[in-house]
Amino acid sequence: MWQGFKAAASPFFPSPLWDGCVNLSLFMSEQRNSPWGRHQEIMAQRGILMDALTPHLSWGEDYALIGFPFHNNVGDSAIWLGARSLLFELSGHDPVYVCKTNGVDFDEAQLRRACPEGPIFLQGGGHFGDLWPSFHALRERLLRCLIGRRIVQLPVSIHFTEAAGAAACARIVATHKHFTLMVRDPASLKWAMANLVCPTTLVPDCAVALGPMTSGATPSGILLLLRGDKEQLSTDTGCLRALQGARHCDWVESSRLGRHWWRATIGSAARFGQRALLASLDAHARSQLARGLDLVSGAKAIVTDRLHGHLVGWMAERPQAVLNNFDGKVHEYVKRWTAKSRGVVLASSPLVAATWVADFR
């Protein structure tokens, strides 16, 4: 069993690489005796992840990490960095091969040269199924072309709208025979057990591996961190938007210029090899997480329907009302992992959340 987190072993937490934004040793010392006792909860869940991953990666073993999220969703950046910290601690080194979620830069021959025998880990998130098809297509491509290789899917939520796509996925998984699946909510576990022939386990989201969080932001006001994409459950949020002094935003918003700059930076780094590419990908993820953490830490309380809006707020000890998303994955996750935590309220509707805000004030 995993015995504890060795903060000094990972390059993602000590201050030089985090520019003071996510210095884990600082958070641990400040929050170890926090009023809510969140430190113990978070590190216990990190231990569950370490226990689940330990059989799949040995110290010194080469491995690949597929699916860097090159977009502006802070949650996916948190997942990436959490996975990086877990795999680094288990192996003692960085992945020898990485590529992005959309698979445009995936090179099978390069992967086989860089990592001829070690495990291949796939980025976790809410993309197992046909809701967000680009990464699912890459996952199925890997399962088809890498028969016999150990492939480990890091914690995901599962959603299929088309039965044909679900059946095709089940056939591909059954054919591969060396695929291990980790899911992060009970509904996904139930679906996987009924439809897929592969070892499956229920674990927390990789983002919790980042540990307790804080930033230099001074808390003020109420943050309405609400998604505006196809996962949104309710568009009737007028009662929330009408709250005086509440700030409404979605953390996928960013400038087009910034995105172009990162695309050019990552593209240039890739020409110098995997180490340079990995450094640029990690830098992008850190900048995204720092932006999101400042946003969440800068609020006295949060209303969100984003799973990682909830998780970053949970790790930063912000009171919050959590709305569901369209397929129920947010409340499924919260009920399993965080609902008993102080300051977390499940809101069945925007009106319930607005009432909670009024009472909170």
Using the predicted structure, report yes or no on whether residue 22 has a pLDDT greater than 80.
no
Element (H, E) at 322: strand 320-322
Distance, in Å, from the CA atom of 9 to the CA atom of 22, rounded to the nearest integer, reads 15
When the pLDDT of each residue in the chain is averaged and rounded to a whole number, the result is 87
Task: For 278-333, write each residue's pLDDT tens digit.
Answer: 999 999 999 999 999 999 999 999 999 999 999 999 999 999 999 999 999 999 99
CA dihedral 137, 139, 144, 150 (to 10 degrees): 180
Which fold would CATH assign to domain 222-360? Rossmann fold (3.40.50)
Task: For 257-269, write each residue's pLDDT tens digit.
Answer: 677 777 788 878 8
**Under a CB-based contact definition with an 8 Å cutoff, are residues 340 and 360 in contact?**
no
Q: What is the per-residue pLDDT for 4?
A: 40
**Under a CB-based contact definition with an 8 Å cutoff, are residues 118 and 152 in contact?**
no
Which is more confidently placed, 19 or 222? 222
Q: What is the per-residue pLDDT for 138?
A: 92
Using the predicted structure, report yes or no on whether residue 26 has a pLDDT greater than 50.
no
Question: What are the extents of the domains in the chain?
Answer: 7-210, 222-360
Q: What pTM did the predictor assign?
A: 0.90
Banded model confidence at residue 112, pLDDT cuts 50, 70, 90: very high
